[in-house]
Amino acid sequence: MLLAACDGGSAVPREQKAQTHTGFPAADRPVATIVSARWSTEEARDRLNEAGQVMNLAGIKPGMTVADIGAGEGYYTIRLGQRVGKEGRVVAEDIVPDVRDALATRVVRERLDNVSVRLGLPADPRLPEASFDRVLMVHMYHEIESPYEFLWRLRPSLRPDGQVIVVDADRPTEHHGTPPELLKCEFGAVGYALVSMRRMPSAGGYIAIFRASGERPEPGMIKACKSGARATPAAVQPGQGSE
């Protein structure tokens, strides 16, 4: 599993495999195969103002601390670093050592002193607790093999008003997307509440924003969502949020 954006290109070797940990349910859905770390060229994405729109909708401002999970080649990492400024902080994470190293080299080359790059695990982003205003997962959620454990371990990293931002395509997971109803169900099972969800063609699908809600459930209390949830045109209304 490569935690990075995907475009249906050539496969990337599995440097690490997700491990099943006792107590967390398995995902009742297919997991997308690994593809390249590039969803589209940066020039094409910038022509659509993809990152700018996502950051605006996510409310990312100067001075914030943001995590870019599945950072890949760093399209969002670089732009997040510029957005949060000198008083902000960006942590870019990937689970493939070579991808992480290449991004670290790019960060140094572009002199982004407010950005750090680290290696995560397939089922654990390994982020410090109570540290992040926003956590971004762009075109990678469908590649997470153990979503309930991943989301459970991610939750403590959020600050009290922190939010998780997911950008994905509205199609089945085996076709490199996540049906919106399935996404809401899996997040809800781990104690996240939907803040908003809207179509976003410029980013290849939709954007969903979640926040932690209530107590984090014990792993044994988490119930897996049924894989029958599929992409439906009515699941996300164009240009509107949904509670």
Domain count, the chain: 1
Is pLDDT of 29 > 50?
yes
Does 108 score more than 50 pLDDT? yes
* Cβ neighbour number for residue 212 with a 10 Å cutoff: 23
pLDDT digits (tens, 9 = 90+) for 33-56: 655 445 568 888 888 889 999 999
CA 174/CA 4 separation, integer angstroms? 15
Q: Are strands 158-168 and 115-119 parallel, antiparallel or unpaired?
A: unpaired
The mean pLDDT value of the chain amounts to 84
- What is the residue whose two structure tokens read 């990293």? 157
Dist CA 50 CA 94 (whole Å): 21
Q: Tell me, yes or no, whether 219 lies in a domain.
A: no
* Contact between residue 82 and residue 148 where contact means Cβ atoms under 8 Å apart: no
What whole-number distance in Å separates Cα of residue 113 and Cα of residue 168? 29
Across the beta sheet with 205-212, what order do the strands follow? 115-119, 89-94, 65-69, 132-138, 158-168, 205-212, 192-200
- For the record, the structure tokens of 145 come out as 């093999």
* Beta strand 89-94 pairing with 115-119: parallel
* Each residue's pLDDT tens digit, 62-91: 999 999 999 999 999 999 999 999 999 999
Q: What is the pTM of this model?
A: 0.83
CB contact set of 46 (below 8 Å; sequence gap of 6+): none
- Please indicate, yes or no, if residue 224 is contained in any of the structural domains: no
Whole-angstrom Cα Rg for the chain: 16
Q: What is the CATH number of the domain that holds 175?
A: 3.40.50.150
Supply the DSSP symbol for 211. E
Residue with tokens 């390249």: 36
Q: Is 58 a domain residue? A: yes
Distance CA 193, CA 211 (A): 5
Instruction: Determine, yes or no, domain membership for 8.
Output: no
235 pLDDT above the threshold of 60: no
User: How much is the average pLDDT of 165-172?
Assistant: 94
Query: What residue type is assigned to position 89 of the chain?
Result: R
Domain that holds residue 191: 44-213
Find out whether 226 and 190 touch, Cβ atoms under 8 Å. Answer: no
